[in-house]
Amino acid sequence: MLFYFDLIYNFRPCSLIYKTPWLFLLSLVVMLMVQDEETGSWYQHRGRDFKVPLIDYLQDDGNIVGAKKGLGTWPGPLGQISNMLLKPEAANSKEDIGELSVQKRGLQGFYEEQAVVKEILVDNLVSVSVRHCLETAKNLLYIETDLPGDVIVHWGICKDDGKTWEIPSEPYPPETSMFKDKALRTLLQRKNGGHGSLGSFILDEGSVAFVFVLKLNENTWLNCHGNDFCIPLSSFSVPPIHSGQPHSEDEEQNNESGSLLISGNASEANQEVSAYTDEIIDEIRNLVTDISSEKNRKTKSKKAQESILQEIEKLAAEAYSIFRSSIPTFTETDLLEEEALEPPVKISSGTGSGFEILCQGFNWESHKSGKWYIDLREKASKLASLGFTVLWLPPPTDSVSSEGYMPRDLYNLNSRLTNVKMHPLTFQGRGNKSSGDNFHAAPNIDHSQEFVRKDIKEWLHWLREEIGYDGWRLDFVRGFWGGYVKDYIEATEPYFAVGEYWDSLSYTYGEMDHNQDAHRQRIIDWINATNGTAGAFDVTTKGILHSALERCEYWRLSDEKGKPPGVVGWWPSRAVTFIENHDTGSTQGHWRFPGGKEIQGYAYILTHPGTPSVFYDHIFSEYQSEISTLISIRNRNKIQCRSTVQIMKAERDVYAAMTDEKVVMKIGPGHYEPSNGSRNWSLVAEGRDYKIWETS
């Protein structure tokens, strides 16, 4: 710090009854300013210079630094002057010197510290987005910030306009704890590279607002101008869609909207106003071109630009008014069922068409064939006739493991597909810390390196465009950040993609807990990290089916809110349901499905939302006929990954559910039959401890 000061001698006239007509009082003060030598910033006291009096009768203008008691007689000439001025012996009375307002005090020294506060302006961003998911009837809220270091969110919900904090119901994000029974606090997850943090929150419908403050350290809290941050949620509620109207899901927004069939009269009405609206559109285009052109942006004044913008707003409002008035009104009789149009099928890498049925086309011993891809080609027509739409193939590349895992040369397909060998993919240098868990059987690939991602995308493009693969199954996705998956999928645009996020379920003293929300939340967090570009195997549902069927505890198949307890209950369009695969079954048998109950498992996943996956060993076995029947029922009733399910019964020995109000299923030895009220139900399939009905 540099200190700059001036000595100020302030002479001011005072009226006195004395022989001398004027007497000048001498006030001595030091004026100070402080400068930060590093930044050049200046510091002052209450917006003005620091002012330190050197004698004690300087008038106090509110900016005095130092004690207001006496300062002590100065030695030398200044002391004599001060003594002389403090003794107006010729004054006749106290009133004679009323204007002087000088009090006689003994002068003393003083010492006082003054804090200098240095303000540094910083620019950080906190963004909050909310979207409503009709599948789960929940609000999905995302917080992202570039604030450095650990950022803790203290948060809650409001259920009324009073902004009273309440604790929401579970699930909660990872690293969440209770704070004094009044709020929750969540440590946001660091972004890759440490530049900022992010977090996602699942909130039930019925909440009016999401309220929060941010804590950076023990002494630093961030709020909104002294108040809590308040994010309204009520505006994200979506009105129900009337039955009878075809609908489709907007994949990016997780929203639904009704589709309206417009007759020929509407087209004629639109033609009548099209000429006028075209003129308005042309005017808007001209105005926008005018304001955005480089030449006019330099010459036009701000006032002229504002005038153009106002004109654009008027024209847009007029065009919208014409559009609204041109839409004809319809009664329900106008929307004839035979005229209803099928909604267009939207392809998404996370769901395919939404009607996919996945066949895992191998087991752990498939590599022993030496020509497995050729064998599968011969069975392709059979698999298609059974109703499968996606075939999951084993890894084709030259690898350390004979089963195709831990690849050595990504461009060497051995002889299982082709003997073409292209330039090898090599990685160089020393990698950064892993963005996920370690797989100890093999070294990590550093996806944070741009050249590594470039090579991987080049290889995936080769598989996609030259070899002919349509999608990706991603192994051990716990090992790297889901944001990299998003990058690879967006670059290669597969038809379908699914990741294996394998994690242990919750147990207490060896018995599976009923509530597995934390487990499925971890899977959903990974799907969120991919921005929904990939689905994930619903390991939660597999584990719960194990306990329910093996222990005859079918009540486990309903969560506390009466919904399916796995990923399929929260985000069905991204849940790939299964009961067995090459790791859990086959010759490995790491987590084999309860024997003799496999068809109960398939009766569940093939009649529920999500994308079901059927294991190769079960297809080509005594179960083939029953599996084929279940697939036919699913396809005939157009059950898809976003279908709605209503649990009718979940008790000790029986579970029953209705899907899309078209299909009813029950599993377990207990009794259940749908009542024939407004619908007539027909039994279309049954077997050991399962039954399926269709509405007729």
Q: What does the block give as tokens for 527? A: 């799907």
Name every residue whose Cβ is closer than 8 Å to that of residue 566 and which is 6 or more positions away in sequence.
516, 520, 538, 540, 541, 542, 544, 575, 577
Rounded distance, CA 275 to CA 409, Å?
Answer: 62
250 an active-site residue? no
Q: What does the block give as tokens for 138? A: 């929940």
How do strand 511-512 and strand 255-258 relate by DSSP bridges? unpaired
Q: What does the block give as tokens for 246? A: 């075809």
Q: What is the DSSP letter of 343?
A: P
- Report how far Cα 308 is from the mean position of its chain's Cα atoms: 38
> Measuring CA to CA, how many Å separate 67 from each of 10, 73, 75, 388?
20, 15, 20, 89
Q: What is the DSSP letter of 501?
A: -
- Give which of 566, 569, 568, 556 is closest to 653, Cα–Cα: 556
Region for residue 476 given its phi and psi (left: phi exceeds 0; alpha: psi -120 to 50; beta: otherwise)? left
Rounded distance, CA 197 to CA 117, Å?
Answer: 29
- Give which of 54, 64, 60 is closest to 109, Cα–Cα: 54
Q: One of 60, 278, 279, 475 is an active-site residue; which one?
A: 475
- Helices of type H across 551-615: 567-570, 598-605
Which H/E stretch holds residue 521?
A: helix 517-529
* Angle between helix 598-605 and helix 539-550 axes, rounded to 10 deg: 130
Task: Give ∠ CA 177-135-545 in degrees, rounded to 5.
Answer: 75
- Helices of type H across 327-449: 372-386
Q: What does the block give as tokens for 139? A: 């609000």
Rounded distance, CA 65 to CA 114, Å?
Answer: 8
Q: One of 311, 500, 583, 686 is an active-site residue; which one?
A: 500
500 an active-site residue? yes
- Give which of 640, 610, 575, 635 is closest to 386, Cα–Cα: 635
How many residues are recorded in the chain?
A: 696
Q: Please say whether the beta carbons of 690 and 600 come within 8 A.
A: yes
| Counts for the chain of helices (H) and strands (E), in that order | 13, 32
- In the numeric block, the tokens 């107006």 are attached to 88
Rounded distance, CA 307 to CA 284, Å?
Answer: 13
- Quick check: helix, strand or coil at residue 506? coil
- Helices of type H across 101-226: none
- Helices of type H across 611-658: 616-619, 624-636
- Helices of type H across 233-356: 264-292, 294-299, 302-326
> Which residues are designated catalytic?
475, 500
